[in-house]
Amino acid sequence: MKPVAIVTGASRGIGRGVASELARTHEVIATYRGRRDAAESLQAEIACDIFPCDVSSARDRAALIDHARKRFGRLDLLVNNAGMAPRERKDILEATEESFDELISVNLKGPHFLTQLAARWMVEQGSGRIVFVTSISSYTASVNRPEYCVSKAGLSMSVALWAARLAAQGIPVFEIRPGIIRTDMIAKVEDVYEERIAGGLLPQRRMGEPRDIAACVRSIAEGRLDYSTGQVLNVDGGFHLRTL
């Protein structure tokens, strides 16, 4: 039987790229929220299992793990990819508590507690790997979307906590920290980013693609990084480099 992977937020963007890559070797459970049409088109392309899941909902998280248990009986890889940007970018002086609560719930609380459910199962079965997709926003201050930055910074600490807790059980945990990736999330400001990249924002003068993240997940899924638990993998075209 093929190994089994859950990829959250897999109907579009980075998650879709990751699910497509993993489907070559894994049984994939691809979750989605709202866009069933996009999930069904993914299913038609790669023959994956699709499952509706709002990761901010405890009920949905439990239902997802229960579905995986009943459908496949094991879980080899969890890719915490689901996340959202603010519905409206606002300066930190104007940003609302409602938006803050929503992003913390989806981007931080959801993956943290989904990992708790998955980790208990992996400990029980004696194996597994866990990936969190965070963002350069975990350390880069964008004052027009503060709630996003705070949620991703918290998620980076969640990775460290889970890596430390699960190391002795032989379950490695990784953080993939994407930079500027061509997805729906940046569609409205894509031209601005392209102009800034051309002007030198990134040492590698191109925008990232979902396949760049998928290639990184592939290395983890194949066990090539198993002795590097807790590692932060910057997939950002060199954005994280400090140069003079």
The tokens for 148 are 């996003």
- The torsion angles phi and psi of 96, rounded to 5 degrees, stand at -95, 155
Separation of alpha carbons 54 and 50, rounded Å:
13
Active-site annotation holds for 227? no
What is the edge-to-edge ordering of all strands in the sheet holding 173-178?
49-52, 27-32, 4-7, 77-80, 129-133, 173-178, 232-235
For the chain, the residue count is 244
Choosing from 32, 139, 148, 227, the catalytic residue is 148
CB 99, CB 190: distance < 8 Å = no
The residues assigned a catalytic role are 148
